[in-house]
Amino acid sequence: MKAFFTLEDWKKQDNLPEDTYAAESIEGLDRDKNLGLFRRGNDIYTGGYNGICYLLKNNMAYDYNTIIKVKPRFHVDMDEMISTIVEDDEFEAYLFESGKKTAIPWKTASL
Which pTM does this prediction carry?
0.69
Angle between helix axes 89-98 and 78-87 (nearest 10 degrees) is: 70
| Local confidence pLDDT in tens for the 111 residues of the chain | 789 999 999 999 999 999 999 999 999 988 889 999 999 999 999 998 988 999 999 999 999 999 999 988 888 777 787 788 888 888 777 777 776 655 444 433 334
**Contact status, residue 7 vs residue 69, Cβ threshold 8 Å:** yes
For residue 21, what are the contacts with CB-CB under 8 A and spacing of at least 6?
Answer: 33, 34, 37, 56, 57, 58, 60
